[in-house]
Amino acid sequence: MLIASTFLLWIVVALLVVAVVALARQIGVLHERIAPMGALVTDGGPKAGDLAPVIAAPGLAGGIVNVGGPDASGQASLLLFVAPDCPICKKIIPIAMVLARAEKLRLVFVGDGNAEDYAAMARRHRMEGFDFALSPQIGLAYQVGKLPTAALVSAAGSIVAKGLVNSREHLESLIVAGETGFASAQDYLRERGAAGDEKVVRMHAGGGK
pLDDT at res. 34: 42
- Biggest CA-to-CA distance, the chain: 84
| Angle subtended at Cα 71 by Cα 65 and Cα 74, rounded to the nearest 5 degrees | 135
Whether residue 68 contacts residue 137, with contact meaning beta carbons closer than 8 Å, is answered with no
Alpha carbon separation from 181 to 8, 96, 175, 177, 208 (Å, rounded): 66, 21, 10, 5, 21
Distance CA 135, CA 55 (A): 9
pLDDT at res. 16: 74
Taking the chain (209 residues) in runs of 10, the rounded mean pLDDT of each run is 69 71 60 41 78 96 94 94 95 96 96 95 95 95 93 94 91 79 53 47 40
Distance CA 82, CA 44 (A): 18
Rg (C-alpha) for the chain, rounded Å, is 22
Omega cis (within 30) before 148: yes
Q: Is the pTM of this model over 0.95?
A: no
The DSSP output letter for 52 is P
Whether residue 173 contacts residue 206, with contact meaning beta carbons closer than 8 Å, is answered with no
- 116 CA to centre of own chain: 21
Nearest C-alpha neighbor of 171 from the set 83, 82, 85: 82
pLDDT at res. 32: 46
Pairing of strands 131-134, 149-153: unpaired
